A = this chain, B = another copy of it.
Amino acid sequence: MEKEEKTSGSEIPNLGLSNRDIARQRLLNRDGTFNSRRVGLPFWETFNFYHYLVGVSWFKFSLIIFTGYVTLNLLFAVVYYLLGVDTHLLGVIANSEFDKFMESFFFSAQSFTTVGYGRISPVGMWTSSIAAFESLVGLMCLAIATGLFYGRFSKPVSKVLYSRNAVITSFKDVTAFQFRIANEQKSELIDVEVRVMFSILRDENSNSPNRKYYILNLEFSKINFFSLIWTVNHIIDNESPLNGLTKDDLTKGHAEFLILVQGYDDTFMSNVHSRSSYRHNEILWNSKFANVYGFDDEGRTTVSLDKISDVE
């Protein structure tokens, strides 16, 4: 595939995205997730808890941490309670068995977080040992919780903004396929590369329709800085797989343009990736993207990112 990238419109393998002879639905969603599902493997072989905790919403993440904290403390509370509150926990203030259990629970929480006020303190071999063990367990579990918390907080976000539509328009005497992307964040992206794959169903009315994939040649596929906005441009020349195709052809062929953007984020010091796609009905024909440049009061160039999708 590396060699073929040089030519305009080389066919590439089907990417494992779809059954060869169907896939009339969208392949890649606008948010970059794939529209296919793997089946046949037991849940635990494909599930990764870390992966889940990194990707889940902040609300669910907080709930999981909180629930885990309460559950573990309840478990230890039961142990302390069964070992005997009266004799093995010093300083307990309780009027009932329920109070005693709650004091066990709070003692557990104070050991788990290593806050250890000491109003309640362990006495005797077993309770002291369990408490010493709980502090170690607490430190280890909280390492996961705080590590994930910080990891989620510091995770690079590359909010690449895509224009709502792509356009097929005339440009410098030739027709071109274009879309715009913008760097929504204040950080600089460096060495940004865009790859565009075009997919279409061939012989869609025959008995053996066949989904084909092509990589599209771009006028520029890599830029050094990506500070503001970039109009990605594929010129539809004779060698382009789009050559001669009409709006109707794209619709019949369930055509889709898959976009892959990657670069290096200077602030997060990490590679960032973004995916999106344009389906045939998201292509505007004979439209041109509108100007987004202007000036501020101090004469500096401004770029209106809210106009990224504007066409004229």
Interfacial residues, chain A to chain B (CB-CB below 8 A): 1-3, 6, 12-13, 15-20, 22-23, 25, 34-41, 45-51, 54-55, 65-66, 69, 73, 90-91, 93, 102, 106, 109-111, 113-123, 125, 128-129, 131-132, 135-136, 139-140, 142-151, 153-157, 159, 182-188, 190, 195, 197, 219-230, 260, 262, 264, 266-271, 273, 275, 293-296, 299-307
Contacts and interface: CB of A to CB of B under 8 A. Distances in A.
A181 to B, nearest CB: 10
Contacts of A229: 16
Contacts of A48: 157, 185-187
B143 A149 contact: yes
Contact of A302 (B38, B106, B148, B184): B38
Contacts of A39: 294, 296, 302-305
A296 B37 contact: yes
A50 B227 contact: no
B224 A195 contact: yes
Contacts of A183: 38
Contact of A118 (B23, B69, B118, B190): B118
B113 A139 contact: yes
A246 B219 CA distance: 31
Given A128-B106, A142-B139, A300 B36 contact: yes
A264 B260 contact: no
A185 B46 CA distance: 5
How many copies of this chain? 4
Given A45-B184, A50-B154, A118-B119, A38 B293 contact: no
A121 B224 CA distance: 59
B25 A300 contact: yes
Contacts of A111: 115
Given A114-B114, A224-B15, A227-B34, A41 B139 contact: no
A156 B269 contact: yes
Contacts of A227: 15-17, 34, 36
A36 B302 contact: yes
B143 A147 contact: yes
12 contacts: A1-B220, A12-B220, A12-B223, A16-B226, A22-B295, A38-B228, A39-B303, A41-B306, A51-B187, A106-B129, A119-B121, A140-B146
Contact of A300 (B20, B37, B303, B304): B37
A224 B19 contact: no
B153 A149 contact: no
Given A38-B303, A51-B186, A109-B135, 5 more contacts: A38-B186, A39-B302, A93-B123, A106-B131, A264-B271
Nearest to A90: B119
Contacts of A140: 65, 145-146, 149
Contacts of A197: 224
A55 B184 contact: no
A133 to B, nearest CB: 8
